[in-house]
Chain A
Amino acid sequence: MNLTLKSLSIHNGQSFDLTVPTGECVCISGASGTGKTLLLRAIADLDPHEGEVILGEAESQTMPANEWRQKVGLLPAESHWWFDTVGEHFSKSNPVMLKKVGFGEEVLGWQVKRLSTGEKQRLAIVRLLALQPGALLLDEPTANLDAENTKVVEQLINDYRKKTTAPVVWVSHDPRQIKRVGDRWFQIKEGKLVEGKIQ
């Protein structure tokens, strides 16, 4: 499934056109305040916007918002949790995926407040991938992680992408990470996506 943005506009002067082919990872960078997070939020239909977002054959506005958001999984830099234990946030256990990020099933009984930032983020990715989204929108998912946790997260997302051929939009500032995970790289400049060469 391709992810296509047609004249996606969040605020004045911006208009994004982009197609992320099935299985491709597009990295996006840009100075602070250029609208990287707003772009991902607009794709996930979390903010009012103009233009179209299409995943496969489906345009975002043609289906209920909650179903659309489940299709285009958005992962922010910092995860949020609202129940006391980890397990309450999962509809069903997924031992294989938990193992991939270094946890046994016992983690489901752990108190959320005792988790470290890295543990929370690894579990947040499992929580998201368990919904089997058709595309991934990642907003600096490893910004608060150490090198080891970053590697685990990158591997998990890469595996998911290969297995499901989901298109991925990955906001990152780290050129080495972009080189590791990205197929194409864009910068947001003056409200437009400008393609650059991955080095």
Chain B
Amino acid sequence: MSLISLTPLDLSLAAGLVLLLALLTHRMQLGLSKQIIIAGLRTSVQLLLIGLVLKSIFANSAFIWIAIISSIMLFAAGREVMVRQKRYFKGFWGFGVGVISMFVSSFAVTVFALNVVINSEPWYHPQYAIPVLGMLLGNTMNGISLAMNQLLQNAWQQQEVIESRLMLGQTAREAISDIRRESMRSGMIPILNAMAAAGLVSLPGMMTGQILASSPPTEAVKYQILIMFLIVVGTGFGTIAAIGLTSHRLFDKRDRLRLDRLKIRKG
């Protein structure tokens, strides 16, 4: 079966449905219509722009350009992790924890997949490197954000409990161990649920996209399994890194709980 190319009119019809939803939420006074329209516009503009960027990168697969676009994606993901936290670290750490964790979860795992599993030639071939990195950044970001948010919120709310444990001679690591464990679970559960439901309840987006773009379903499935494995590994490693860095920064060298290093996001 050949690819059915979508025309601007086809996309306009889908956009019409989004507008209809915005209108409905406006009539129901849900306060969401503006956000729906802005999100729709952002999606369209951002994806059209990345389409153009990818088109030119595919035509000229110089390593430097792929490195630049990958770094931009990484920093954007790091920032996104930070802005999703109700409480976040002041200064470099606020941004740094997100970027380092996303680097572990996505960059390192992507480089491994390109070199060891996919074996593309060259290994940074943009047709593979950019989509795999994008999938990993987008999907591991949720787990990492959830885990960090849970850790920081619980540390804030359970200050007395943590300090009581410190007063009884526990180390910082022991005093926050239960909160760390719960946060790790929060970060991992969405991807574990998605893996359990894949193929039974839902058809994952990447696989659906490949099938719509005329790839044989068996090939699409193989790539989807690979991506799912990479996402769970990336989320796991990234969440471990995020929780490790966050709990390290929550205490100082004398194992004192330093909530004064946190800022609260207003609104």
Is B219 close to A, CB under 8 A? no
The answer to whether B254 touches A65, judged by C-beta atoms less than 8 angstroms apart, is yes
Give the number of residues in A that approach B within 8 Å (Cβ atoms).
24
Decide: A127 and B161 in contact? CB cutoff 8 A. no
**Contact indicator A45/B254 (Cβ below 8 Å):** yes
Cα distance A92–B8 when bound, in Å? 73
Task: Point out the residue from B160, B168, B171 that lies within 8 Å of A128, measured CB to CB.
Answer: B168
Contact partners of A75 in chain B: CB under 8 A = 167
Alpha-carbon gap, A70 to B166, bound state (A): 9
Decide if A106 is an interface residue (CB 8 Å cutoff): no
Say whether, besides A65-B254, A82-B178, A70 and B164 are in contact (CB < 8 Å).
no
Interface residues as binary, A60-85 with B (CB distance below 8 Å gives 1, 0 otherwise): 01001111011001111011111000
A76 touches B168 (CB 8 A): no
For B161, give its contact among A45, A66, A67, A82 (CB under 8 Å): A82
CB of A44 within 8 A of CB of B161, answer: no
Residues of A within 8 A of B160 (CB): 76, 78, 80
Known A45-B254, A45-B256, A65-B256; judge A70-B161 contact (CB<8 A).
no
Question: Can you give 17 contacting A-B residue pairs, CB < 8 Å?
Answer: A46-B166, A46-B167, A46-B257, A48-B252, A61-B254, A65-B254, A66-B170, A66-B171, A69-B166, A70-B169, A74-B167, A76-B160, A80-B160, A80-B164, A82-B161, A82-B164, A128-B168
Q: B residues near A, CB below 8 A? A: 158, 160-161, 163-171, 178, 252, 254-257
Binding site for B on A (CB under 8 A): 44-48, 61, 64-67, 69-70, 73-76, 78-82, 127-128, 131
